[in-house]
Amino acid sequence: MHAEIIAVGSELLTSSRIDTNSLFVTERLNELGIDVRAKAVVGDDSNDLAALFRQALDRADLVILTGGLGPTDDDVTRDVVASVLGLPMTENPEVVDRLRRRFESRKLKMPEINRRQAMVPEGAIVLDNPNGTAPGLLIVAGTRRVLLLPGPPRELKPMFERVLSEHLAPHAGSRRFYRRVLRITGRSESHVEQAAQPSYQVWRERRLPIDTTILAAFGQIELHLRVSADSRADADAILDAAARDLHLAIGPDIYSDDGRLLEQVVGDLLVAHKLSIALAESCTGGLLASRLTDVPGSSRYVERGIVAYSNRAKIELLGVDEHLIREHGAVSEPVARAMAEGIRQRAGADIGVAITGIAGPDGGSDAKPVGTVMIATAGVGEPAVRTFRFFGDREQVKFQASQAALDMVRRRLVDYHG
């Protein structure tokens, strides 16, 4: 079954409100194995909506329209759908009654304009709306299904859950979508894509039902694999083999294929090796410590984290030699190294990690432009220090620096046999 979604509402075309209904609907449909092939946002205009609706009917088995079911003149969805499908509408006395009672329960008289919401196209199933006045409608037209849902998310969600289980799930078949997300650091999107392409080729030749999507974010690439299968076991067999192919092609740059974030992967490695970690952060201002301590149970391995922002803090709290700062600058490999060793010793931790850099937008120079970040680790093997050049704004530089620091620790622990 293929679905299309049309979100109706002029406000959704402006920045004042974003269409979230289609995201919710898509997610729930995908869980049932129903693919959403296209979606659109359209203003409260009968002609525009009619044109889009006709197109969607041509392509999809299920067309879902959200919004525009209110009582006012700008709510056109019901009328447009009935007229495109050529269905006469009549007032449904039960719905009028329900609406009237809803108003009476609040000691109000029902405004006449609300009678519009009781107009039902011939043959349509009326979907009760416990959270609002606009009832939903389900119309079965030949092999096509058309579903009209109210715009407010708190009305749409419970109504859609019921339609799913009562009317859509029985027709969806046993096929479902199953996903696997591989998270990758240390490579660009195109390098990941290039390394993955030969595997995709093999899957295509073997006609494996795998869809792939690559998502690039700062400091991380995600490969999303999706298969349609009759059972979790069938899906896992395909996804396990696919993940193995990608592990062979991409290697240890893949840090997780089971949904874990980088801070969780690092935490799990620290627990497995019974190691503790201490952090000395300058330009990230505690972000690394924050991310590591977002993980429940991190008290088992996070010993402490210090934000040593000023030179004086680096000297006083980490024991960095002030001559080192004077000679090389606070953003330098020797200072990063001294910070990592300083925090490791003072904390009595197994691993010390230090970050010092220029997050911008000011403070860059030709030699050390904005985005220059030095990251050092000490303990568990040879001390290491690396210089990175990140792009983006201040927040993005900080995030990438924390990501790179976590990744340096991860790689160190993956290779560690202590």
- Residues in contact with Mg ion by the rule CB under 5 A: 9, 67
Residue closer to ligand AMP, measured from CB, 69 or 376? 69
Q: Which stretch binds ligand AMP (CB under 6 A): 97-105, 146-154, 266-274, 306-314?
A: 146-154
Is 69 near ligand AMP (CB under 6 A)?
yes
The CA-based angle 65-69-73, given to 5 degrees, is: 125
Dist CA 146 CA 124 (whole Å): 9
The pairing of beta strand 372-378 with beta strand 119-121: unpaired
Decide: is 150 part of the binding site for ligand AMP (CB under 6 A). Answer: yes
The contacts of residue 47 (CB under 8 Å, 6+ apart) are none
By CB under 6 A, what part of segment 173-212 binds ligand AMP?
none
Closest CA to 36 of 51, 26, 49: 26
Which helix (H) or strand (E) segment holds residue 227: the answer is strand 220-229
Query: How far is the first Cα of the chain from the last one, in angstroms, to the nearest whole number?
Result: 54
Let me know: does 239 contact 225? Beta carbons within 8 Å: yes
Distance CA 140, CA 123 (A): 8
User: Which among Mg ion, ligand AMP, none contacts residue 153 (Cβ within 5 to 8 A by kind)?
Assistant: ligand AMP
Residue selected from 43, 152, 209, 329 as contacting ligand AMP according to rule CB under 6 A: 152
Choice between 133 and 372, CB closer to Mg ion: 133
Q: Is-contact 387 400, C-beta < 8 A?
A: no
Shortest Å, Cβ 405 to ligand AMP: 38
Residue from the set 4, 19, 263, 341 that interacts with ligand AMP by CB under 6 A: 19
Contact call for residue 153 and ligand AMP (CB under 6 A) = yes
Instruction: Name the segment binding ligand AMP (CB under 6 A); options: 67-75, 115-123, 207-215, 408-416.
Output: 67-75
Nearer to ligand AMP, 53 or 301 (CB): 53
Helices in 330-389 by DSSP H: which ranges?
Answer: 333-347
From the list ligand AMP, Mg ion, none, pick the one residue 152 interacts with, judged by a Cβ distance below 5 to 8 Å according to partner type: ligand AMP
d(CA 50, CA 52): 6
Which of ligand AMP, Mg ion, none binds 150 (CB below 5-8 Å, type-dependent)?
ligand AMP
Q: What is 96-146 written as a DSSP string? A: HHHHHHHHHTTT-PPPGGGGGGGEEETTPEEE--TTSS--EEEEEETTEEE
Only one of the segments 10-18, 95-103, 299-307, 391-399 lies at the binding site for ligand AMP (rule: CB under 6 A); that segment is 10-18
> Is the separation of the CB atoms in 292 and 266 below 8 Å?
yes
Nearer of residues 77 and 400 to Mg ion, judged by Cβ: 77
Q: Minimum CB separation from Mg ion for residue 72, in Å?
A: 8
Q: Does 305 bind ligand AMP (CB under 6 A)?
A: no
DSSP assignments along 383-398, one per residue: -EEEEEE--S-HHHHH
User: How many residues would you count in the chain?
Assistant: 418
User: Measured from the CB of residue 154, what is the shortest distance to Mg ion in angstroms?
Assistant: 15
Q: How far is the CB of 133 from Mg ion (least distance, A)?
A: 13
Task: Find the binder of ligand AMP among 14, 20, 46, 201 (CB under 6 A).
Answer: 20
Among 3, 6, 7, 318, which residue interacts with ligand AMP (rule: CB under 6 A)?
A: 7
By CB under 6 A, the count of residues binding ligand AMP is 18
| Contact flag: residue 136 with ligand AMP (CB under 6 A) | no
Using DSSP's 3-state secondary structure scheme, residue 75 falls into: coil
Residue 75 in the binding site for ligand AMP (CB under 6 A): yes
Angle at 398 between CA 397 and CA 402, to 5 degrees: 115
**Residue 19 or 253 with smaller CB distance to ligand AMP:** 19
Point out which residues bind ligand AMP (CB under 6 A): 7, 9, 11-12, 17, 19-21, 66-70, 75, 150-153
